[in-house]
Amino acid sequence: MKIFNPKEHQECDCFLTTPTTGFVLTLIGENQTYSYDNFTLNRLIYVQRGYVEISCKDGTIVLLHEKEFVFVPIGREFSFKAHQDAVLITLNTLHIDYLCMRVSIPSLKKVQGTAYNGQYERMVYPANEAIERCFDSIEDYLNSGFCCKEMHMVKQREVFFLLRVCLSPEDLLSLFRPLFDTQSNFKATVLRLSQQVHNVCQLAQMMGLERAYFQRLFKSHFNTTPYQWMLQQKEEKTRRLLRNTEQPIKVVATKLGFASVSHLNDFCHKKFGKTAHQIREGALPDIVRGTEKSR
């Protein structure tokens, strides 16, 4: 695919230099490993070519072959190992509310008779011809450097529509069942809302819970206090925005809830021993135009 007027495309407000949501192409060499540093998104992982092993932090190991896909919910930590050169296309999304105009994710809960034991082996599905064509077109877009947020949105809707028409209600329920698990739902809600707040009090309020009860519930799920967890998340997000984006440091400071660049620098110096500018200058971007490479 050839893009005419690429400069015009790249200067458009819809152009995504380093997309955090949408589709990402990941290349993993044979016997190499790859792991994410951010688990605050839902991911639909499709193997375009190759053969990979997914290892989850809970000990679950899944083998994913060419033209197969799997759903990994928000908060689930995992890594890849390629048994042969592999190309993955990952859909990163925060919200999954509707597969199409008529079928919502919560409506799948009404489907009866589908057993679920939490194992990822029950969530691996082969793609049919229509799904294959869809992901072929996504690969063409990403390889050409066409990275428009509207394209990501349209193709995401297309993927969900195809899942809706190509899988039975029972298979859809099995694929997305982790979203219905009580513990996963609490974690998923915390991860989603934590992107919108800057302190524990705000997070508890958005969860609709009294702060003392929220803190006890939080610790039972995360094995740490909300304050310590949010501080760790802030450190990771600070590193990620400074290292993997080209956003002006002033914009990064605002997104992170700092009153000024000076306050951001104080935080960075305390946590990392460097200023925000030093962190950015000393880092190589891990993501370039929607393509990730194994480390």
- pLDDT digit string, tens, across residues 203-250: 888 877 778 878 888 888 888 999 999 998 888 888 888 887 788 899
- The pTM of the full predicted model, rounded to 2 decimals, is 0.65
SS3 content of the chain, % helix, strand, coil (to 5): 45, 20, 35
In terms of Cα–Cα distance, which of 55, 158, 135, 40 is closest to 93? Answer: 40
Query: CA-CA distances (angstroms) from residue 273 to 136, 248, 265?
Result: 44, 20, 10
What is the average pLDDT across 161-173? 88
| 3: pLDDT strictly greater than 70 | no
Quickly state the pLDDT bin for 18 (edges 50, 70, 90).
low
72 strand-pairing partners = 43
Residue 165 parent element (H or E): helix 149-166
Q: Name the CA radius of gyration of the chain, rounded.
A: 20
**Strand, helix or coil for residue 70:** strand
Cβ neighbour number for residue 108 with a 10 Å cutoff:
20
